[in-house]
Amino acid sequence: MRRNRVLKYLLEKEFKQMLRNPIMLPLIIALPLIQLILLPYAATYEIRNIQMVVVDHDQSSVSRALQQKIASSGYFEIAYHTDTYQEALTHIEEGTASMVLEIPENFEREMNAGEEVQLFVAADAVDGTKASIGTNYLNGIIQDFSIREREELALKSPVAVVQRELPAQIEAIPVFRFNPGLDYKTYMVPGILALLLTLVGGILAALNISGERELGTLEQINVSPVRKVDYLLGKLIPFWIMGLVIICFGLGIAWLLYGIVPKGSFWTLIVFATIYNMGFIGFGLFISSVSKSQQQAMFIAFFFLLIFFLMGGLFTPVSSMPRWAQYITYLNPTAYLIDAMRLIILKGSGFADLWDQFWATLSFAVFFNGLALLTFRKTAN
């Protein structure tokens, strides 16, 4: 009974400190709002408005139709036309354009004759991802243009097309499940929700005990009869509640801004968020326990959080990483939560599909909270 009263007073103390903190409450509201508004638009591999230089040696109606198709795709903006490739290259060197398309002479005649036509494409590969994706976009547009031109030629002169023995076109009709529009924002939002929970546990909790150590209030706790288990529970529970508030608020923003509603069980999502949140709060309390100042705690927390984020599958799929990096992600709790959040929200997966992620997340929660309990020291009991 006495222990319940002690825990109650500790929780009351923590919530009063949070409410009196001029930064904490705005942070709880602003953090999910800003990140869910900005990151899905900024952190995307969808490349658009690529500045292009065109060198058109043919100056025919077909070459102009190709340029019009490229410009209307939304991925490219034809910023310049030059007479020579060397002139076009100066725009790449100056950074005013990212790609060059050179159309050869007799382009229209060779297309109408059914001959193979080669276009020259040069890309600024300082940003390798942009160059690779942009080139793939351009190849797709050119291939589609070629198919349409052949179809129009067949309608105008079917006999001539048969005589040239043009190959029949085989069209594959794709069906995209779970994200039909291939919208990168839909893919990013569940991962950002996991990021929000990680920041709450990893940074705010990491600053807590070290902050009390700097203020001197930790010494008062050390000489009090408060057990360290009760003290750590008094720290863990408020941040756990804060994490649940943030995840619910984040889901509301995802629904209002992007129309994303979890296809799976809301309670399954909350269970994963709860376990992970408790685990990362334990991680933050562990960092806070071994740090002598808030500055030290912040540096340690950021060091680990950067690794967790970059190797958690938030921006780059784990399957695309080198084999050695994939092995490291087995020890990354953030990777399991991001995977679980995407499967629950986008695919509607349930516990039967998520046992691996569940046990991994639970194991990390037990490990980090046990570590926080072992490393926190009290001089008196």
Q: Are 333 and 281 in contact (CB under 8 A)?
A: no
Q: What is the pLDDT of residues 277-312, one digit of tens each?
A: 988 888 888 888 888 788 888 888 888 888 888 888
Q: What is the pTM of this model?
A: 0.74
What confidence score (pLDDT) does residue 162 get? 47
pLDDT band at 124 (very low <50, low <70, confident <90, very high): confident
- Give the number of other CB atoms < 10 A from CB of residue 163: 10
pLDDT band at residue 338 using 50, 70 and 90 as cut-offs: very high
Distances (CA, A) of 160 to 112, 143, 154: 10, 21, 8
Span 145-177, pLDDT tens digits: 888 877 776 666 555 444 444 444 444 456 667
- Answer yes or no: is pLDDT of 121 > 80: yes
The closest of 144, 120, 124 to 133, measured between CA atoms, is 124
Whole-number Å distance between alpha carbons of 54 and 79:
8
Q: How confident is the model at residue 380 (pLDDT cuts 50, 70, 90)?
A: very low
What's the mean pLDDT in 26-48? Answer: 74
- CA atoms of 338 and 333, how far apart (whole Å): 9
pLDDT digits (tens, 9 = 90+) for 45-89: 667 788 999 999 999 998 999 999 999 988 899 999 999 989 998
Answer whether residue 31 shows pLDDT above 90: no
Share of the chain above pLDDT 70, in %: 82
- Over residues 262-282, the pLDDT tens digits come to 999 999 999 999 999 988 888
Q: What is the mean pLDDT of residues 217-243?
A: 74
**DSSP string across 152-205:** HHHHH-HHHHHHTTPPPP--------S-TT--HHHHHHHHHHHHHHHHIIIIIH
Q: 50-163 is classed in which CATH architecture?
A: 3-Layer(aba) Sandwich (3.40)
pLDDT of residue 218: 61
Give the highest mean pLDDT range of 138-147, 227-236, 330-339.
330-339
Identify the pLDDT of residue 168: 44
Where does the pLDDT of residue 125 fall: very low under 50, low under 70, confident under 90, or very high at 90 and above? confident
**CATH 3.40.1710.10 segments of the chain:** 50-163
Highest mean pLDDT among 110-119, 198-207, 273-282, 291-300: 273-282
Stretch 177-196: mean pLDDT: 83
Rounded CA gap, 6 and 10, in Å?
6
Predicted pLDDT at 251: 92
Residue 211 to residue 213: CA distance in whole angstroms: 5
Residue of 191, 171, 181 whose CA lies nearest to 254: 191
User: What's the rounded mean pLDDT across residues 232-254?
Assistant: 85
- State whether the Cα torsion 195-316-180-66 is positive or negative: positive
